[in-house]
């Protein structure tokens, strides 16, 4: 039982440290992101927008989304871990800094 407490405490500490690290990694510039969002706004900027490619899909609004979530989602598309064809192409063209800038822009948007 005492080993569980120690291991559980170590896990909790690792999770908390990971959270701090994620927060510290936010390097985006919202003003730069505003200049890079032309490929995003056409779908993500339209209320209740749906795309028919590859099937009918409700496109999420990303304004106000947590910036690190946006970065992680874009990284997952770029790595092929998420599979929407349009997003694979768009994310594949983005640098890490582009992702951070777009995330800062959309994270601050309402």
* Pick from 32, 27, 30, 43: nearest CA to 90: 43
The mean pLDDT of 93-105, rounded to a whole number, is 98
pLDDT of 51 strictly over 60: yes
- CB-based contact 27:97 (threshold 8 Å): yes
pLDDT value at residue 53: 82
* Pick from 47, 25, 28, 38: nearest CA to 95: 28
Q: What are the structural domains of the chain?
A: 28-108 (1.10.760.10)
The mean pLDDT of 38-52, rounded to a whole number, is 91
The mean pLDDT of 21-31, rounded to a whole number, is 67
The mean pLDDT of 83-98, rounded to a whole number, is 95
Separation between Cα atoms, residue 99 and residue 72, nearest integer Å = 9
């Amino acid at each position: 039982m005492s080993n569980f407490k120690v291991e559980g405490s170590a896990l909790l500490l690792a999770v908390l440290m990971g959270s701090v690290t994620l927060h510290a990694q936010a390097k985006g510039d919202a003003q730069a992101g505003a200049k890079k969002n032309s490929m995003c706004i056409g779908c993500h900027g339209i209320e209740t927008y749906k795309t028919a490619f590859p099937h009918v899909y409700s496109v999420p609004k990303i304004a106000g989304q947590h910036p690190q979530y946006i970065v992680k989602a874009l990284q997952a598309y770029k790595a092929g871990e998420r599979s929407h064809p349009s997003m694979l192409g768009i994310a594949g063209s983005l640098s890490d800094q582009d992702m951070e800038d777009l995330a800062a822009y959309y994270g601050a948007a309402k």
